[in-house]
Amino acid sequence: KTFNAHGLYLRRAQEPGIYKLYVVSHSALESIQVFTIDGKGSEPSLSWTGCVPMPEGNKAYPNLGSQATSSRVAANAVAAFSDGTIIATVPQRPGTTNAQRLRGEPTGDVVEWKPGTDAFHVVPGTQLAGNNGIEISLDEKEFYVVSFGTHTVVIFSREDPRKPLRQSVAPGFMPDNLRWSDNRLIAAGPMYDEP
């Protein structure tokens, strides 16, 4: 009754007909919920396999002092690598505003969780104006992050994300979401003049 899904990411598992579904959840526990989808039968089945809570603001951002409370930061989009590493976007870290994001000021981050670790941590270098959609390159060497406030898609190296590799400005719209369609990366979002 309290499930509140936001960003979704579907990843094919090694076993044919099996998929992992990663869901940004804004329910009682801000988290990334993980499900297994079994598509081998006549009807697909969905089973919950676990979750990774989003970090508390004061733990993810200890340098912010009183601006970062113990409330968990909210994710927007999620993606997962084949090794189980989960990355998610945080559009607004504690102490930032939506007005700052829309002015193009850095307000967000990418956070990462690796299997065997106890929590998400902020990925240094991924501070953008409203980190929004996220996607992984087909070879898993890069990841793409929407900077909503600057209307760009920023590309980072998975090996060393401290400085963006390159970026692409959206032609006439504000990108929000990213997804692959075969070997093409598709961005979707509102037009500039949309109310």
Task: Encode pLDDT of 154-191 as tens digits.
Answer: 999 999 999 999 999 998 888 999 999 999 999 999 88
Is the pLDDT at 147 greater than 90? The verdict is: yes
Q: How confident is the model at residue 27 (pLDDT cuts 50, 70, 90)?
A: confident
Pairing of strands 5-12, 152-157: unpaired
Is the pLDDT at 1 greater than 90? The verdict is: no
* Helix (H), strand (E) at residue 155: strand 152-157
User: How far is 130 from 163, CA to CA, in rounded Å?
Assistant: 17
Q: How confident is the model at residue 137 (pLDDT cuts 50, 70, 90)?
A: very high
Q: What tokens does 95 get? A: 């102490």
pLDDT score recorded for residue 28: 86
In the block, tokens 């079994």 appear at 38
Residue 102 CA to its chain's centroid (Å): 19
Q: How confident is the model at residue 195 (pLDDT cuts 50, 70, 90)?
A: low
Burial class (CB in 10 A: 0-12, 13-18, 19+), 178: buried
Mean pLDDT of 136-154: 96
Q: What is the pLDDT of residues 43-84, one digit of tens each?
A: 999 999 999 999 988 888 888 777 777 788 999 999 999 999
SS3 173: strand
* Helix (H), strand (E) at residue 111: strand 109-113
Is the pLDDT at 3 greater than 90? The verdict is: no
User: How far is 137 from 126, CA to CA, in rounded Å?
Assistant: 16
Mean pLDDT of 138-154: 96
CA–CA–CA angle 112, 117, 121 (5° rounding): 30
Q: What is the pLDDT of residues 78-135, one digit of tens each?
A: 999 999 999 999 999 988 999 999 899 999 999 999 999 999 999 999 999 999 999 9
